[in-house]
A = this chain, B = another copy of it.
Amino acid sequence: MRIPLNVARYAVSVIAAVALAFPVLAQNVLAQEVVAQNVVAQDDPLPSWNAGVNKSAIIAFVRSATDASNSNYVPPAERIATFDNDGTLWVEHPMYTQLAFALDRLKTLAPEHPEWKTAQPFKAALEGDMRTLGALGEEGLLKIVMETHAGMSTADFEKIVSGWIAEARHPRFDRPYTDLTYQPMVEVIHYLQENEFKTFIVSGGGIEFMRPWTARVYNIPPENVVGSSIKTEYKIINGKHELMRLGEISFIDDKAGKPVGINAHIGLRPIAAFGNSDGDAQMLQWTAEGPRPHLMMLVFHDDSAREYAYGPAGGLPDTAFGTFSPWLMEEAQKGGWHVISMKNDWSTIFSPP
């Protein structure tokens, strides 16, 4: 399914809902392999990274921030690291996972909504007619988000997302989405955690779409997830209090919203920030302008063989999701932000099935 740019780009801003998913991490590793991996891990905190400038930069930054004898030392309370999610920690092509969820959810709900057979934007979405959906603009997408992400309690939404993410499979890799996290980035998260960094997800995606599975998949607990959200209302439903999800956007955690979300949720400026698209530029700027030593990194998707290749920076295709523009590449070069080549920097992309 080909999704027009305007549909896709707006989707990342609009899909601002939330819920749970049980990660399905199948790990069939022989005992001998575990021992071998542990030996490597003792020497190398980032075994899925190839030797190079980027791997060295991460290790040097962590060593220096944690070494109390040098001037770049940062006390643990201020060791804040923020990670975008889509395209930085897990796959975002051929479409954002949350958009796949929304479209699947529409299909599930369609039998209860015969009017969707003729009413837009639902007709177009159900028929996979992305061109018409694109022509219907932001208003059309907002209607889809509200039908699929609002009108239920937070507890019910959590169950819906958990059920979906346990069952859904990525169309190309035929694995659960929670399997398709980037092993090298998960290693970075754990390496930072072992060095008393506080790690946060700061994503344009819906906060309650991520929270159900981030603890298991990344070891990042719900309270350390920052994302887009819709409003909720505390009210009595059948004699019990519930938080009902309203059809109204509360916050869009993207672009200039990322520093705002970081301040609102964390209250401290990051010293390390990881992203992969134009939507992350302000988070990296905000980090770079802080008074402490800092590390800014962008994942560049240049590996169509093992994952995907898109830009349009570097002459790669200008696709619907995760735009890495030539402007962002320039900002990275001017600012000394590290650009990670998936193809060259990563020896492994996903953990083995």
Contact = CB atoms under 8 A, between A and B. Distances in A.
Contacts of A235: 256
A265 B225 CA distance: 8
Interface stretch (A21-29, A66-74, A99-107, A226-234): A226-234
Interface string A202-245: 00000110010001000001111100010011110000110100
Contacts of A154: 263
A236 to B, nearest CB: 10
A253 to B, nearest CB: 12
A184 interface: no
Contact of A286 (B233, B241, B256, B282): B241
Contact of A215 (B77, B225, B240, B285): B77
A266 B226 CA distance: 10
A259 B225 CA distance: 17
A264 interface: yes
Contact of A267 (B211, B256, B285, B286): B211
Contact of A259 (B243, B257, B265): B243
A265 B267 contact: no
A241 B208 contact: no
A225 B234 CA distance: 20
Interface of A: 77, 154, 198, 207-208, 211, 215, 221-225, 229, 232-235, 240-241, 243, 250, 256-257, 259-260, 263-268, 282, 285-286, 289
Contacts of A266: 222-223
B267 A222 contact: yes
B286 A259 contact: no
Oligomer: number of copies:
2
A286 B154 CA distance: 13
A-B interface, 4 closest residue pairs, ranked by CB to CB distance from nearest: A222-B267, A234-B256, A223-B266, A234-B259
A263 B232 CA distance: 9
13 contacts: A77-B221, A211-B267, A222-B267, A232-B263, A233-B260, A234-B257, A234-B259, A241-B259, A241-B282, A241-B285, A241-B289, A243-B260, A250-B264
A229 B267 contact: no
Of listed A215, A221, A286, residue having the most chain B CB within 10 A: A221
Nearest to A214: B267
A234 B211 contact: no
Nearest to A262: B243
Contacts of A259: 234, 241, 243
A80 to B, nearest CB: 8
Given A77-B215, A241-B285, A241-B286, A265 B234 contact: no
Contacts of A225: 267
B268 A223 contact: yes
A223 B267 contact: yes
A299 B245 CA distance: 32
A349 B243 CA distance: 36
Nearest to A80: B223
A221 B268 CA distance: 10
A241 to B, nearest CB: 6
A29 B186 CA distance: 47
B77 A207 contact: no
A245 B63 CA distance: 36
A9 B303 CA distance: 59
A174 to B, nearest CB: 30
